[in-house]
Structure 1
């Protein structure tokens, strides 16, 4: 069986830099250590598979863990910890003790990567991972690995015993992934908003495994106009990106602003609807930004096509409270009476062109009838740019750039 690790790909392509210190809690045989050595990282190995094999019947597994771990220099601080699937097979008190023993070597921002099994048929022993290519791993049933049934720890349970670690990203059910595996990124002593993009935090590394086709790229003058205005903002420009998280890469946007926040509005509103009913509005806490953050630009893409007039009005007011005067609001409106059944995926590329993918073949009726109707719902903004364009499928849309009035 094989598993494509989007998390480990993100670590090596986005998050880890030359000189970083890596603690690998798995065996050397996985092959990943070599990838980090090529990045000039310092790699330390603590084979906890060996610990499991030798201490299943230990009278004091916590003391046995202390004996197993190698002594480390007092000033050594790790940037990344690789746990593989090992936490699935450790008792909670052992995990708690492991974190306690590693604590002198953790620092604010230390990243821990782990894989959690979620299916009904939990493995009866840890899997041996062997790197093939492009961070696709082959599972090997190693007869020398100890038989230790998976404990089935939930994410919440796991976090409760991992003092000062918090969850900042999860990856699951992507193409090539084992559908019963969820990859988690945990961060130690995080002080950053869950919505702010750190390197590798929200960028969808599926772009690492695919290239954007020429017929997916389109010119969007409004995007260029909005980006140019944002970059001219005084101080460090800050942007909020509200498109779908899955299936796109936001690396190009990260390079264009000082601080990038993301919020999958479509998913957030769907969750609100599930909790509260059909005509749910936006929660005032939907945008989790760092205290004092003011936005210089917001990208909504095609989301407004799927909201009611009341929802658009409320969203405009909520965003306006968090934007600086003159900040830009970018979105597109479909021109046809029939629009795609669900939002598409928009990805800004390095050359400012936009890749549009995931366009639904199904159709639904458009709700907004005219530009005048739209502007009446957004009285706090003025029209700054207007363009006509076509999706890769040939469907026409209007591209709007608004500015928040002083």
Structure 2
């Protein structure tokens, strides 16, 4: 068990947070097309959640596992004791009882890998093919002293009751790849993080149970599909390969993506990193219709917990569409979240014509990016370059450059910058 774990009974009065829940929206959009579905909620009984599913003609059963964790005492001592306690606490369903949706909420954060495998095996006996499982992963090394209580207000919003005390994890944290290995026959449908209105300390995941690889009669939820848009261009990225190699050697890595939100990218990097943040930077640099002067950067942008340090920052082509003053403001906000070995991956456009706006980047694997092209415009005489960036990112040096290598798209120069920030 981790050292420094706070006694479950010693938490402050709970605080309520209204959280925008895209994972619940995805489940709602699938359930609304049918009736008489069964829902298993591993969290506390909630009148709001009951009414929400009743309006969808669903039957719901609550397990209240958050209460078990708050009261289980010595069951925390080992995984074996925890499994024994859960076995006594969980309902014994008949063999014919099956559920269409399982809401695990944040429970998996409090389990070791063996207990997660045991719990999934027990739940799978009551899952149909294509049962959806919703879970929440906490970002970072700490988590609430006890599992939160969740109430579904509507298809968009969830109320969370949060303990005021954070604690170290009772067992070693599991990255997404490890969790998926522990959940055989489940596939990741959607990953949501850092979207507008979401609580900033969580990632939402929706998984699908497919015991025989079935994928029939699926309703598409209102989220980005994992399939690629048409007309993307394959780009061989040598710097991406270096970044992935670096992340593999970095324990509990933390990654920041400055490009537009792409669920595919989050799923990919969570195989290498424990924490993945997304900040769609360019809209934060543009003026709103009511402003007469363009801001350097909006106040809400790049606001992270002071303890967060990024091991890798993915800038993609974003810096091509910033001016020097904006980049200086970006650097000042990010500098506090960098350490002595932070890497920044960026590429710059060259040639007579360049994209007129940022191209969306979809990571295919550790060597390939699919680019969604945009219209071209004549290049300006003073296009931003890597040298220009180094003048602004004054604590960085150029670690690697990849130009005109096999498989790279023409007009793209890839750069890997490395920080040399020395703190007292």
Give the TM bin, normalised by the shorter chain: 0.5 to 0.7
Measured on the aligned residues, the alpha-carbon RMSD in Å equals: 5.0
Give the aligned partner of residue 35 of structure 2.
30
1:194 matched to 2:194? no
Q: Secondary structure at the match of 2:246?
A: helix
Q: What residue is the counterpart of 2:358 in the other structure?
A: 343
Provide the residue aligned with 1:242 in structure 2.
Answer: 258
SS at 2:285 equivalent:
helix
Q: CA deviation at 1:343?
A: 0.7
Secondary structure of the equivalent of 2:365? Answer: coil
Q: Provide the residue aligned with 2:225 in structure 1.
A: 207
- Corresponding position of 1:258: 274
Cα offsets for 1:196-228 (capped at 9, x unmatched):
644369xx95333x2577963221111111232
Pair 1:215–1:261, CA change in 2 (3 A): closer
> 2:243 aligns to what SS in structure 1?
helix
- Residue pair 1:27, 1:48 contacting (<8 A) in 2 also: no
Query: Displacement of 1:287 after TM fit?
Result: 1.8
Structure 1 residues 8 and 76 mapped into 2: Cα distance closer, same or farther (>3 Å)? closer
- Is 1:360 the equivalent of 2:360? no
Aligned equivalents of 2:359 and 2:50: distance in 1? Answer: 44
Preserved CA contact (<8 Å) 1:300 1:331? yes
1:334 correspondence with 2:349: yes
User: Counterpart of 1:316 in 2: which secondary structure?
Assistant: helix
TM-score (norm 1): 0.53
Alpha-carbon distance, 1:49 to partner: 8.6
Structure 1 regions of 5+ residues with no counterpart?
1-5, 12-22, 54-67, 82-105, 117-157, 166-184
SS of the residue aligned with 1:255? coil
Give the count of matched residue pairs.
277
State the alpha-carbon separation in 2 of the partners of residues 51 and 9 from structure 1.
14
Confirm or deny: 8 A CA contact 1:320 1:404 kept in the other structure: no
In 1: Cα distance, 2:326 partner to 2:55 partner: 55
**Distance in 1 separating the partners of 2:356 and 2:257:** 21
Residue 241 of structure 2: aligned partner: 224
For 1:27 and 1:236, how far apart are their aligned partners in 2? 39
* SS of equivalent to 1:79: strand
User: Are the counterparts in 1 of residues 42 and 62 from structure 2 also a CA contact under 8 Å?
Assistant: no
Q: d(CA) in 2 for partners of 1:31 and 1:385? A: 57
Kept in 2, the 8 Å contact 1:220–1:389? The answer is no
Separation of aligned partners in 2, 1:283 and 1:250: 24
Offset of residue 263 of structure 1: 0.5
Q: Aligned to 2:103, which of 65, 79, 82?
A: 79
For the Cα contact (< 8 Å) 1:218–1:355, is it kept in 2? Answer: yes
Residue deviations 1:244-303, cap 9 Å, x none? Answer: 115854211111101111111122223x55464443212465223234111111001101
Task: Work out the CA distance in 2 between the residues paired with 1:295 and 1:370.
Answer: 23
Decide whether the 8 Å contact of 1:241 with 1:300 is kept in 2: yes
Do 1:381 and 1:404's aligned partners in 2 also have CA atoms closer than 8 Å? yes
Q: Which residue of 1 aligns with 2:285?
A: 269
Does the 8 A contact of 2:314 with 2:346 survive in 1?
A: yes
Instruction: After TM superposition, give the deviation of residue 391 of structure 1 in Å.
Output: 12
Residues 15-164 of structure 1: matches in 2 within 5 Å? 29-30=34-35, 79=103, 108=148, 110=150, 112=152, 114-115=154-155, 162=159, 164=161
TM norm structure 2: 0.51
**Cα distance in structure 1, aligned partners of 2:408 and 2:236:** 14
Measure, in 2, the Cα distance between the counterparts of 1:329 and 1:186.
21
Closer, same or farther: CA 277–112 of 1 in aligned 2, 3 Å: farther
Alignment CA distance shift 1:297-1:198 (3 Å): farther
1:340-362 per-residue CA deviation (whole Å, 9 max, x = no partner) reads 121111122234421212x2124
Give the unaligned 5+ runs of structure 2: 1-21, 68-101, 106-145, 163-191, 208-221
Deviations along 1:88-135, one digit per CA (max 9) or x if unpaired, are xxxxxxxxxxxxxxxxxx95274848447xxxxxxxxxxxxxxxxxxx
TM-superposed deviation, 1:335: 0.4
Counterpart position of 1:296:
311
